[in-house]
Amino acid sequence: MKFNELHLNDYLIKTVKRCGYTNPTPVQEQCIPFILAGHDILGLAQTGTGKTAAFILPTIQHLMAHPGKQIRALVITPTRELAEQINDFTQTIIGRSSLQSLAVYGGVSKAAQIAKIRRGVDIVIACPGRLLDICNDKAIDLSQVDVLILDEADHMFDKGFLPDIRRIIRLLPVKRQNLVFSATMPDEIRQLAGNILVNPKTVQLNPSRSVKNISHSVFTIDKAQKTRLLVKLLADEAMGTTLVFTRTRHRAKNLARVLVQTGLKATSLQGNLSQSRRQQALSGFKDGTYTVLVATDIAARGIDVTGISHVINYAIPDTAEAYIHRTGRTGRAGCTGDALTFATSEDRRLIRVIERSLNRPMSQLDLPQLPEAHLPVRHQPVQTTARSHKNTGPAGKSSRVSRKQQRCANNSNIFGLAQRGRN
């Protein structure tokens, strides 16, 4: 199917072409016609499937066809990074049209957000807490919202945002279009969806479709050896852009520091950082300033960084669902990816749960020879602070893209590590 078969207007067809999209993804094929026809949607789709464009494109078409001076579309998301990412995409699409969008989240100036709202905004992409805060200040009018989009609804439930969402919904007009997207459907989300959606069309993507590009492997390892194994793996020159997950903020920060000491271009993304440092870490990872990002689960959902070749679970996540989200950061947009999990003997039960959810066994990898307890320092300048992003963008990007293309073309195990047993 082609974009011009989806009844999008010429402006949007040209703009998606400029984004490099040739054909719609399955979630776009299914959602866009329903949304354009005014239906409510219950979308069961994970990130990485192209769902942002699936809801933003028809929403923008609606706003273009019904000009107004108020906020007419509201997207609610669980994390600041996701709000920023959706807003970036929205701004790319609205381009130089007269539409205005704004991301609203905490950790940055509320006054600046209110000032922009006063100047006039058509689409708000918000995290619930800051949005309610601004509502309580009576600095925003949501009474003209035509389209409500709840993205990553299950994650909002996990984060305890449902009461806030209910409060926000009470401020919206009763007659509106509702689009709810969720990777999974716990009872609470089913109930919420039942309360807000009116005769919805359900769009369900086969979840296995999203994970088939990813190889899943496990190292069984003692806790004390994990850092040395990580350093060993990351020292491989062929290793591409890598996202490492830890359980705690403290561990993410310290591990990134250790990796920097070994000469790697690494940084951390965790909730103890100020919002500007979080953004700096993420944009540095996107533009290639950093090739390794050590993060807590704030990076597990929604974050779209092109060409992440490896996800390493330094600490295994608590649930199979969290595993699917973390590892879904690789193997995106048709590329392949490797997911590696460091599991201690205590994690065996969880590995079995994850395997059941993947519907396939994970490969067991033999431990390579690990360096002595002191960590190897690479013979290159140690980078202790973030480089300016100014001049690194295009170069960093192109080198990452070429690595990504390489990975797409060549689906080999770059470690040359022995795989044993099941595969």
Using CA atoms, how far apart are residues 49 and 210, in angstroms rounded to an integer?
7
Nearest-approach distance from CB 254 to ligand AMP, in angstroms: 30
| Binding segment (CB under 6 A) for ligand AMP, from list 51-59, 102-110, 169-177, 377-385 | 51-59
Nearest-approach distance from CB 50 to ligand AMP, in angstroms: 3
How far does CA 317 lie from the centroid of its chain? 16
State both tokens at 350: 């969880």
Using CA atoms, how far apart are residues 65 and 307, in angstroms rounded to an integer?
36
* 331 binding ligand AMP? (CB under 6 A): no
**What are the helix (H) ranges across 23-152?**
26-36, 51-65, 80-94, 110-119, 128-136
Nearest-approach distance from CB 183 to ligand AMP, in angstroms: 10
The residue behind tokens 């193997």 is 331
* 87 binding ligand AMP? (CB under 6 A): no
Nearest-approach distance from CB 90 to ligand AMP, in angstroms: 11
Query: Quick one: 57 or 145, whose CB is closer to ligand AMP?
Result: 57
* 286 binding ligand AMP? (CB under 6 A): no
Interface positions, 333-372, toward ligand AMP (CB under 6 A)? 333
Chosen residue from 31, 34, 41, 48 binding ligand AMP by CB under 6 A: 48
Strand, helix or coil for residue 105: coil
| Binding segment (CB under 6 A) for ligand AMP, from list 43-51, 62-70, 202-210, 335-343 | 43-51
The partner residues of 218 in beta bridges, in order of sequence, read 341, 364
Query: Quick one: 114 or 333, whose CB is closer to ligand AMP?
Result: 333
Interface positions, 52-81, toward ligand AMP (CB under 6 A)? 52-53
Burial class (CB within 10 angstroms; exposed 0-12, middle 13-18, buried 19+) of 96: exposed
* 332 binding ligand AMP? (CB under 6 A): yes
* 213 binding ligand AMP? (CB under 6 A): no
* 408 binding ligand AMP? (CB under 6 A): no
State both tokens at 259: 């990796």
Strand, helix or coil for residue 404: helix
Nearest-approach distance from CB 27 to ligand AMP, in angstroms: 8
* 25 binding ligand AMP? (CB under 6 A): yes
Interface with ligand AMP: number of residues (CB under 6 A): 15
Query: Quick one: 91 or 419, whose CB is closer to ligand AMP?
Result: 91
- Looking at residue 304, the DSSP 8-state letter turns out to be -
* 50 binding ligand AMP? (CB under 6 A): yes
- Looking at residue 421, the DSSP 8-state letter turns out to be S
Chosen residue from 49, 59, 268, 291 binding ligand AMP by CB under 6 A: 49
**What are the helix (H) ranges across 150-246?**
153-158, 162-169, 187-196, 207-211, 226-234
Query: Quick one: 72 or 329, whose CB is closer to ligand AMP?
Result: 329
| Contact criterion met (CB below 8 Å) for 54 and 60 | no
C-alpha separations of 86 from 54, 101, 139, 331, 367 in Å: 12, 10, 23, 20, 40
Closest CA to 280 of 401, 373, 173, 392: 392
State both tokens at 53: 């464009």
Using CA atoms, how far apart are residues 193 and 77, in angstroms rounded to an integer?
15
Nearest-approach distance from CB 278 to ligand AMP, in angstroms: 18
Interface positions, 254-273, toward ligand AMP (CB under 6 A)? none
| Binding segment (CB under 6 A) for ligand AMP, from list 48-56, 122-130, 250-258, 279-287 | 48-56
Residues engaged in binding ligand AMP (CB under 6 A): 21, 24-25, 28, 47-53, 304, 306, 332-333
